[in-house]
A and B are shown apart, each in its own frame.
Chain A
Amino acid sequence: MTTKLAAPGTSGGTTTAGRGKRPRPPFGVSIVAVLAVLIALFSLIPLGYVIVMTAATGWDTAVDLIFRARVGELLLNTVLLMAVTVPLCLILGVGGAWLVERTQLRGHKWWAVLLAAPLAIPAFVNSYAWVSAVPSLEGLWSGVLIATLSYFPLVYIPAAATLSRLDPAIEQSAASLGLGAWRTFFRVVLPQLRIAMTGGALLVSLHLLAEYGAFAMIRFDTFTTAIMVQYQSTFNGTAGNMLASVLVFLCLILLLVEVRSRGSARYAKIGSGAQARALRLPLHAYQLPAQLFLAALTALAFGLPLTFVLRWIVAGGPDIWAADEFLPALLQTLMYGLAGALATTVVAFPMAYLAVRHPSWFSKALELSNYITSSMPGIVVGLAFVTVSIKAAPSLYQTSALLVAAYVLLVLPRALVNIRSGLAQAPKELDEAAQALGKPPLLAFLRVTLRLTAPAAAGGAALVFLAIVNELTATLLLSPNGTRTLATEFWSKSSEIDYAGAAPYALLMILISAPMTYLLFQQSKKAAGQ
């Protein structure tokens, strides 16, 4: 699981079905429903795998394997990592967003983009750069440092998006009720950010649970790294499977916590009319400290990794650009990215269509299954696909089709969020208008609904592409023999301490990610109001 960003508040059902009445689904919808069920079942493979494996292990063995010192140690590591990193990310993310969106910060337009920029650097590249800079980095605090710098934009982006769309009339009302700037922020603005913050915190937590490369590089043991070690030594061993079930259990708990803390309230439904521009708070004497703080943050999170990648490139000289290794990896990465983006978009469409056009308990159940899937770490998806394919369809094992299928599963929620908001922009009434103008339903759908959804779907596809380019864990487990992606090549070189050799791959990943990150940043601004 790499960067994943849900626009705040997008998971609420958007009903366009007129007047709250549910139309009888025509035949075409039934086909869509069947497809969506198949997709949902497919997406539940990892969870099913973990459950079946745990059940098959037998109670006693499972208890033995789960309640042991090693698991306790991993649990402690993981919990400590989350307990420190998540609050830090919240502070940096919300603080940064507030400075950028709500104060007279000089150059706030630039800072707005720069604070999102660390997202273009995969966490394991960040880790690699930091290890190059400070070779002694190891253990929990190094993990906290790298994870915080890599993941705080996951809070920053939705928080900034929400703040920029927040109706300033709400703050003005607070001021007119006698609240000062600070109290307005804590009593009015911060509660409005609740969805962005809980959503961001969930994403950060899930990333912490799922990340492999970044923590393996600094020899910090989490469940994911431990499962990978088990897998490499015993391949589908029971011990590894039990670790995976604990990991999945943690993920599900996180989902539950997020659902609880998100609450049922829907904040900030902003009207469609033009809204007043937000007043920016003067910083006066705080201008310089604010600038210094942001500069330091950006330098550590973005400047340092980039600098060290470039230094290794310079140090490596022309030798590291051996085209026969380098070009295939680039091509294969692009191929996988495109195939995955295409497949994911196609697969996400029926589910999004059902959720938007035919909301019911049924589509809600599909959404729930998808929500659960979205929390599955790459390592679990990888393990599940390896085992299931060997047992059920050996001919699929280690094929690129299987790898693409795993990618689809890992990134499906991202595409879904985008297509859903796109579909919500194409109300059913437009489809009907086209039909009343003599277009048969399918043509009306193609020329109106699909056409209007296309930009959002393309945005979703771009994000999916970004995720796949930087995917490491599942790719390591599932890629066919001889497959070399930028991420796996980078990983094998840096594992052999060939840091200079790894640098070009790192640079390429950053270069490919940068425009996508910018796109994601732009998109979040639009999505926040929905």
Chain B
Amino acid sequence: MTQYSPSRLPEPRVAASVATSTNNHLEIDAVTKNFGSQAVLMGVNLSVAKGGTTAIVGPSGSGKTTLLRLIAGFEHPDTGSISLNGAKVAGDGVWVPAHKRHVGYVAQDGALFPHLSVGQNISFGLDAGKLPGGHRSVKTRVAELLDMVSLDAAMAKRRPHELSGGQQQRVALARALAREPELMLLDEPFSALDAGLRVATRRAVGKVLQDAGVTTILVTHDQGEALSFADQVAVMRGGRLAQIGNPFIVYTRPADRATAEFLGDAVILDAWMEGSLATCSLGGIPVRRPPAQGRVQLMLRPEQIRIAEDGPIRGVVVDTDYFGPETTVRLKLAVPPVLAEGAVADHRYPGGGEIITIRHWNASIARPGTELCLRVVGEAVAFPVEDLPQV
């Protein structure tokens, strides 16, 4: 269902315009937005398929919330246009205000109306006159919606401040669902919740929305949340979309180093690319569609580096952090065997000695000073050297 952007790994860092399709629920075309002299969005293109789940993820200040507010109709784009179901709602002289867009919106803290009960909050957007059973059916509908978000119908009498944070978010979702929107916008709705509740609420909300077949856009700064929630992840940085794609793709094959590091821990090593094989302190590692030959930077995810029984690649444990189920191990890599054997300095092969961080489930084998054998699973991603961030 979801339209993935074509894999663009070889070259650009900036998303090219995604192919237009009539099946797209939401189309954002070259949207820019400034606040005063500050450019917040600098040409954003995004398509969201009907029924799909998209997460817009980015560090704070990247413009993701602004993008969401533009879709909701709380802000006007400076240039560019936004279409819902093929009809323009903003841009090119068209403006459909928020209340006519039929878009659901759940704010960061839920934004429940404090002067209304839970039931009144949920029925706020319902037009009693338009429901078949009039006022009586409002009550039924509220109970239905509460049930949908796994809350007791008796909650309708409560006041928002009597609910926990997670319950408030569910009520906010029920309130937004009441009008049966086809598009739901979630603005960091889980960030105010504590860790355990966050996961549970996220899962519950995701299920409700999926069951209802609602196209969903989630804005978050939490990579894990984005990757687990959505079937399309749009990485936003500095007012632009750096990469759009399915979670697995953006995580394992990020378009650039910054995206790689934003989406999770990354092991970055200098390497020499020849054909589709990169040589580095971890040995020769296959790379699909290398962007360049010669000197490159190689990106691996820590979980790709495993501890092996035996092998030529070695590293010495520097220190460890124990997290319970897993341990983060910092290793100093040994000089690769190809150098040790040849004993001739070769500009093509970096000299080892890098410190990398990997994860392992067994804390006991990783005492500082221990030498471990390592192997790499899967492919690496190479970035051209000029990709180095300007520090």
Chain A residues at the B interface, C-beta cutoff of 8 Å? 18-19, 21-24, 425, 427, 429-430, 432-441, 444, 448, 451-452
Contact = CB atoms under 8 A, between A and B. Distances in A.
Contacts of B97: 435, 440-441
Most buried by B among A18, A21, A429, A430: A21
Nearest to B110: A433
Top-6 shortest CB links A-B: A437-B125, A436-B105, A435-B98, A433-B111, A21-B35, A429-B111
A52 to B, nearest CB: 38
A439 B74 contact: no
B129 interface: no
Interface string B135-178: 00000000000000000000000000000000000001001101
7 contacts: A24-B76, A437-B99, A437-B176, A437-B179, A438-B102, A440-B97, A441-B98
Interface of B: 35-36, 38, 40, 65-66, 72-76, 97-100, 102-105, 107-109, 111, 113-115, 124-125, 127, 172, 175-176, 178-179, 185
Nearest to A19: B65
- Overall SS of chain A's interface: helix
Nearest to A426: B114
A18 B75 CA distance: 12
A438 B108 CA distance: 19
B113 A448 contact: yes
B239 to A, nearest CB: 12
Contacts of B175: 433, 437
Given A432-B74, A433-B105, 7 more contacts: A427-B111, A429-B109, A432-B107, A435-B99, A436-B72, A436-B105, A439-B99
Nearest to A20: B35
B368 to A, nearest CB: 38
Contacts of B176: 436-437
B107 A452 contact: no
Contacts, number: 76
B124 A434 contact: yes
B40 A438 contact: no
A529 to B, nearest CB: 16
Contacts of A430: 111, 113
Nearest to A21: B35
Given A432-B74, A452-B114, A452-B115, A440 B109 contact: no
A344 to B, nearest CB: 24
A440 B107 contact: no
A401 B140 CA distance: 53
Contacts of B74: 23, 432, 435
Contact of B104 (A18, A432, A436, A451): A436
A425 B124 CA distance: 19
Given A19-B65, A432-B74, A441 B99 contact: yes
B124 A437 contact: yes
B115 A451 contact: yes
B99 A444 contact: yes
B125 A439 contact: yes
A425 B178 CA distance: 25
A18 B65 contact: yes
B103 A436 contact: yes
Nearest to B107: A429
Nearest to A433: B111
Most buried by A among B36, B40, B105, B172: B105
A22 B34 CA distance: 10
A440 B97 CA distance: 8
A435 B175 CA distance: 12
Identify the interface centre among B73, B124, B178: most chain A CB within 10 Å of its CB: B124
A345 B137 CA distance: 39
A435 B101 CA distance: 10
Nearest to B38: A21
A22 B35 contact: yes
B102 to A, nearest CB: 7
Contacts of A434: 113, 124
Contacts of A23: 35, 74-75
B281 to A, nearest CB: 43
A427 B76 CA distance: 20
B131 to A, nearest CB: 14
Contacts of B65: 18-19
A22 B178 CA distance: 31
A20 to B, nearest CB: 9
A429 B98 CA distance: 13
Nearest to A26: B76
Contact of B99 (A19, A440, A451, A452): A440
A285 B100 CA distance: 70
A172 to B, nearest CB: 26
A439 B98 CA distance: 9
B221 to A, nearest CB: 12
A21 B69 CA distance: 13
A434 B107 CA distance: 11
Nearest to B105: A436
A442 to B, nearest CB: 10
